[in-house]
Structure 1
């Protein structure tokens, strides 16, 4: 039975050309012949030469920086410091922080982006209710601090009174003992 070498379709006897691609039919297909759609081309980036860009304390901070770098088409990755990867698995976070690496050829560009990112002020929009809540908490904290200071002053006065009473009692006791022995 004839076959089309490009489409890899089987034809009945008597056909000489493929009706789809107009190729000459062959009697047998080669197993190692691949059609164009089967040929897959892969593009491989050259190996990365990693350079330490920055060390951060938290994973979320590392993720923010990585996303910024990836948006700028800079190849990067982060690696937990010390036993941080194990801590992340068992505890959900790491106290050791993470190192962020970039390709050596992109280091200057990545460093500039990082500097720009750090210079940006944090802009947070706060509605009136949240602002009142924050103000109330600040007022409460100030009140708490004032109460603590007042309690500290009272404790100081109380300690002074106790020491004074003890000193007077000691003097009275010494006087009584001396009075008994000197009689």
Structure 2
């Protein structure tokens, strides 16, 4: 199955160009090494339940997401607010698309 290297979507065999961004599809997506992956914050939420909704929305759109302060939010809400809430982080190259998706939340 071909994939879009920019959008990370999978397409049916026979499709050569991504209909969303016009990029040439590739047979396999390259996996960045964890050492080279830069994460950026795309959202901060006062409650873990809202952060989980954001994570679910992003991951259902093919964007891997990490939540920071997820454990602390279950123990001390005052500390979470002091630290800016539960943060959603994604790869730098996915940040722009993630922010567009999160605007729907």
Fold-level match, TM-score > 0.5? yes
The answer to whether the aligner puts 1:110 opposite 2:98 as a matched pair is yes
Does 1:85 find its partner at 2:71? Answer: yes
Structure 2 unaligned segments of length 5 or more: list them: 1-29
Count of aligned pairs between the two proteins: 69
- 95-104 vs 52-61, which moves further: 95-104
Give the helix-richer structure, 1 or 2.
Answer: 1
1:76 Cα deviation from its structure 2 partner:
1.0
Structure 2 counterparts to residues 125-144 of structure 1, below 5 A: none
Give the ranges of 4+ consecutive aligned residues of structure 1 lying more than 6 Å apart after TM superposition. Answer: none
Matched residue, 2:21: none
Aligned pair partner of 1:99 in 70, 87, 99: 87
Task: State TM-score, norm by structure 1.
Answer: 0.34
Structure with max Cα Rg: 1
CA 107–87 in structure 1, closer or farther in 2 if over 3 Å, else same:
closer
Using structure 2 for the length normalisation, give the TM-score. 0.57
The structure with the largest strand share of the pair is 2
